[in-house]
Chains A and B, each alone.
Chain A
Amino acid sequence: MLTVFVNGEATVTSAATLAELVAQFGFPETGVATALNGDFVPRGAREATRLVGDDKVEIVSPRQGG
């Protein structure tokens, strides 16, 4: 088990990759975009992106904007 930060909140997870983490949260694969430690991770690269302790993950979706 790892502790990572998902959208700023400490989260204990068994996910080994970013793709698994997104799935564990129940997010639709194409409905969210991700960044790891400040850098964008394209959808197609999530599977190959392995998580390590204290990683900072951002998971975002479309929202209202000005």
Chain B
Amino acid sequence: MNSALPDPVTPPSFRLYGVGVTSRLLLGTALYPSPKVMTDSVKAAGAGIVTVSVRRESARANSGRGFFELIRSLNVRVMPNTAGCRTPREAIATAHMARELFGTDWVKLEVIGNDDTLQPDLFGLLEAARALISDGFKVFPYTTEDLIAAERLREAGCEVLMPWAAPIGTGRGLANPYALRSLRTYFPDTPLIIDAGIGAPSHAAAAMEMGFDAVLLNTAVARAADPVRMAGAFAAAIEAGRTAFEAGLMEMRDTATPSTPVAGTPFFGLDKS
């Protein structure tokens, strides 16, 4: 890089429940081919926040401790999820268990309403969010692009919203860009993190160009042929998308306009044949 040039990238900076966050890429820790690939991917992504979960422990495996030590060694903030919970009651109990284990009041709240689409149950989500917020949790709700659900979640005390791009693990990208754009417009001051359904760096860049604050990924990196390189590709795309948003994209037009000046075009007006 030419050091005489100013750094073109504004250092990203936003706040989640009052905590300053530098990286706009949040990364999941599941589905990697090995623990080493997972930790290398987190580093390559430059992620400052990773998602984790709680699962039934087996007396034989005792696998939780090793995993948590690995995560601690990364020196990143953890966001436990309530993945797989189908009722507010399950999600609330899981969030409490996660808070005790991980020592954080952050929770990525998932209440799943449908096994095929893994679509959030927005009614259960709101109920669980209210209960957890009254218990002192900082709730990051995994929601859809629904504006009214977003409003209710904000009223309940969710300071951050995490709308899906597409169903978890599909990699389909922004399935409903119009609705996501509306969400961004209606909630200009609420941190909005696109969570789930991102498959390619271009999807993440598109979300960032729309002005979303961050992207949460897992499968797209973990299931890449080379997860560590893919983590780097996502980091670059997210930075590019954010910079583009801050720089201000041109308006799209229906008609062509020449970019090269028309005045002074050689041979102008000579073609009379």
Query: What chain A residues lie within 8 Å of B65 (beta carbons)?
Result: 28, 31, 61-62
Chain A residue numbers with a CB within 8 Å of B31 are 64, 66
Contact at B68–A26, with CB atoms within 8 Å?
A: no
- B54, B90, B97 — which one has the most chain A CB atoms within 10 A of its CB? B97
- Of the candidates A25, A58, A61, which one forms a contact with B64 in the assembled complex, judged by CB atoms under 8 Å apart? A61
Q: Is B189 an interface residue (CB 8 A)?
A: no
Contact B59 A61 (CB under 8 A): no
Q: Which residues of A contact B168 (CB under 8 A)?
A: 66
- Of B31, B56, B71, B94, most A-chain CB atoms within 10 Å: B56
Nearest opposing residue in chain A for B67, CB measure: A62
Q: Which residues of A contact B94 (CB under 8 A)?
A: 60
* Chain B 46-58 per-residue mask, 1 if CB under 8 angstroms from chain A, else 0: 0000011111111
Are A40 and B97 in contact (CB-based, < 8 A)?
Answer: yes
User: Are B71 and A62 in contact, with the CB atoms below 8 A?
Assistant: yes
Does chain A have a CB within 8 A of B89? yes
Contacts of B1-55 to chain A: CB distance below 8 A? 28-32, 38, 51-55
Which residue in chain A gives the minimum CB-CB distance to B168? A66
A65 and B98 alpha carbons, distance in the complex (Å): 12
How many residues belonging to A are interface residues under a CB distance threshold of 8 Å?
25
- The distance from the CB of A66 to the nearest CB of chain B, in whole angstroms, is 3
Chain A-chain B contacts (Cβ-Cβ < 8 Å), number: 112
The answer on a CB contact under 8 Å between A60 and B219 is no
- B144 interface residue per 8 A CB criterion: no
Taking the complex as formed, is B93 at the interface, i.e. its CB lies under 8 A from any CB of chain A? Answer: yes
Interface assignment of A52: CB less than 8 Å from any CB of chain B: no
Is B229 in the interface zone, CB < 8 Å from A? no
B29 & A60 in contact (Cβ 8 Å cutoff)? no
B54/A61 in contact, CB under 8 A: yes
Complex contact A62–B54 (CB within 8 A):
yes
B53 adjacent to A8 (CB under 8 Å): no
Could you say which residues of chain A place their CB within 8 Å of the CB of B29?
A: 64-66
B245 at the interface (CB under 8 A from A): no
Which residues in B have some Cβ–Cβ distance to A below 8 Å? 28-32, 38, 51-59, 62-65, 67-68, 71, 80-81, 83, 89-90, 92-94, 96-98, 100-102, 168, 218-219
Interface CB pairs A-B, < 8 A, 19:
A8-B56, A28-B65, A31-B62, A32-B101, A33-B100, A40-B100, A42-B96, A61-B65, A61-B67, A61-B68, A62-B52, A62-B101, A63-B67, A64-B29, A64-B30, A65-B28, A65-B53, A65-B81, A66-B29
Q: Which 7 A-B pairs have the closest CB atoms?
A: A61-B64, A65-B53, A66-B28, A33-B97, A66-B218, A40-B96, A64-B30
